[in-house]
Amino acid sequence: MKKSNIKNNTIMNDTQNNTAIPEGHPVNTYFQETDIIHKLLEELAVTNPMTETQRFFNIFNELHTIEKRFQRKENQLFPYLEKRGWNGPSQGMWSFHDNLRDQFRMLRKDLDNKDYDIIKTNTPYLINGIYRLMQVEETVLFPNALEILTDTDWIEMRAGEEEIGWMLPKAPLPYPKEEYVHPSQDFTQREMTFSLENTTHYDEGYMTVEQVNLLLKTMPLDITYVDENDKVIFYNRGEERVFPRSAGIIGREVRFCHPPKSVGTVLEILDKFRKGEQNESSFWINYKERLIYIRYFAVRDADKNYKGVIEMSQDITDIKNIEGEKRLLDWK
Q: What averages of pLDDT result for each successive group of 10 residues across the chain (332 residues)?
A: 42 47 96 98 97 97 97 95 93 94 96 95 97 97 96 94 94 86 71 79 89 91 94 87 83 85 91 96 93 96 96 94 89 79
Return the pLDDT at 12. 39
What's the confidence (pLDDT) of residue 166?
A: 96
Q: Please tell me the predicted confidence (pLDDT) of residue 202.
A: 87
DSSP-derived letter for residue 178 is P
∠ Cα 251 254 257 (to 5°):
100
* pLDDT of 78: 95
Q: What is the pLDDT of residue 190?
A: 67
* pLDDT value of position 240: 75
Check: pTM over 0.75? Answer yes or no.
no
d(CA 18, CA 12): 10
Q: How many CA atoms lie within 13 A of 148 on its CB side?
A: 17
268 closest CA partner among 301, 314, 230: 230
